Amino acid sequence: EVWNPNGKYRVISTKSMPGTRWIDLLVQQDCRVEICTLNKTILSVEDIIALIGDKCDGVIGQLTEDWGDTLFSALSKAGGKAFSNMAVGYNNVDVDAATKYGVAVGNTPGVLTETTAELAASLSLAAARRIVEADGFMRAGLYEGWLPHLFVGNLLKGQTVGVIGAGRIGSAYARMMVEGFKMNLIYYDLYQATRLEKFVTAYGQFLKANGEQPVTWKRASSMDEVLQEADVISLHPILDKTTYHLVNKERLSMMKKEAILVNCSRGPVVDEVALVEHLRENPMFRVGLDVFEDEPYMKPGLADMKNAVVVPHIASASKWTREGMATLAALNVLVDMRSLHINFFIIL
């Protein structure tokens, strides 16, 4: 699919993206926009090299693609100066290789913060109240009438939410859980989340002033402290060598038997084989997973676990956010192609 065929700059998007604002933005700045229409969910390195061809000024790519030495070399040979990942995470991008070939790399933070945090909150609730299990029960025609023991789950109010990685998304999630469900907070991060702490303190005072039990917060001195103390734990680190299998067999065994673990970051942050074993041995332990170690696959046994809620990497999948990510990805390419002077009022 080609837009503005006579545009001076050739920009490729490896996937069709939501909305048209991103296309308008590129076309207004004299780009010829080519959207790949290959009928494949995940493009291989060879597919992308063929797309880049002999002349390409910039590429908008996806987190499912392997942007390493081979692709940046091909892009640079074709005159490319910019690569934009339509994601906040960029563990699929070798930034050193891009730098070596003079290609600037962009990502799309900010626009997905609340949407991603909302999914982490949804998974927390779905796991706590066994919503998916109960839904399956209804659809299977098994409901015979109200019973005192039917799908009894966890009450969040007054429990402790644990956040590992209190950056933009982790902090937004923490705020939702504290304000929405009056949970206490414990978090672990290398940096202090001052704004989040101020918010929880002020909210605690507000509750107290209204005669309600105030919420509390604590910055943990280790990740293990969060795992041991929290009732619901949400993971928000980036994926790199230091966070690979951050949650392993040993750490799973530190958590409360009835804890809930939520992962909307990257699959390999959790040792999924160990997780399946832990879920099997601890039926009251629950997880909400948006990401998996070997996407699009799940480790054997996970799909059979009633105490797991699993969704296909949709944390940023709201219309507003996906259009925003596409727009930001286009903007990154324009800025990084450097020769362009952008009128920011067009965008705002």
Q: Which is nearer to ligand DGY, 229 or 272 (CB)?
A: 272
Binding mask 276-315 for ligand DGY (x = CB under 6 A): ----------------------------------------
Given 112, 163, 172, 200, the residue binding ligand DGY (CB under 6 A): 112
| Exposure of 163 in the CB half-sphere (CA atoms within 13 A) | 33
Binding mask 63-82 for ligand DGY (x = CB under 6 A): x-------------------
The count of chain residues that interact with ligand DGY, using the rule CB under 6 A, is 6
Contacts with 20 (C-beta within 8 Å, 6 or more apart), sequence order: none
105 binds ligand DGY (CB under 6 A): no
Given 18, 80, 89, 268, the residue binding ligand DGY (CB under 6 A): 89
Q: What is the CA radius of gyration of the chain?
A: 23
Q: Which is nearer to ligand DGY, 49 or 311 (CB)?
A: 311
Burial 247-285 (b: 16+ CB within 10 A, else e): beeebbeebbeebbbbbbbbbbbbbbbbbbebbeebeeb
Q: Are strands 31-35 and 9-13 parallel, antiparallel or unpaired?
A: parallel
Contacts with 127 (C-beta within 8 Å, 6 or more apart), sequence order: 260, 262, 286, 287, 288, 307, 309
* Shortest reach from residue 279's CB to ligand DGY, in Å: 23
Residues 48 and 72: beta-carbon distance below 8 Å: no
Q: Which is nearer to ligand DGY, 63 or 255 (CB)?
A: 63
Q: Which stretch binds ligand DGY (CB under 6 A): 3-11, 85-93, 189-197, 273-281?
A: 85-93
Q: What token pair was written down for 157?
A: 């109010």
Cis peptide before 148 (omega within 30 of 0): no
Q: Which stretch binds ligand DGY (CB under 6 A): 87-95, 120-128, 193-201, 251-259?
A: 87-95
Q: Which is nearer to ligand DGY, 122 or 316 (CB)?
A: 316
Residues 33 and 11: beta-carbon distance below 8 Å: yes
* Burial environment of residue 12 by CB neighbours within 10 A (0 to 12, 13 to 18, 19 or more): buried
Q: Which is nearer to ligand DGY, 112 or 233 (CB)?
A: 112
Given 159, 184, 316, 327, the residue binding ligand DGY (CB under 6 A): 316
CA distance 243 to 237: 7
Q: What are the catalytic residues?
A: 266, 295, 313
Given 87, 128, 200, 239, the residue binding ligand DGY (CB under 6 A): 87
Residues near ligand DGY (CB under 6 A) = 63, 87-89, 112, 316
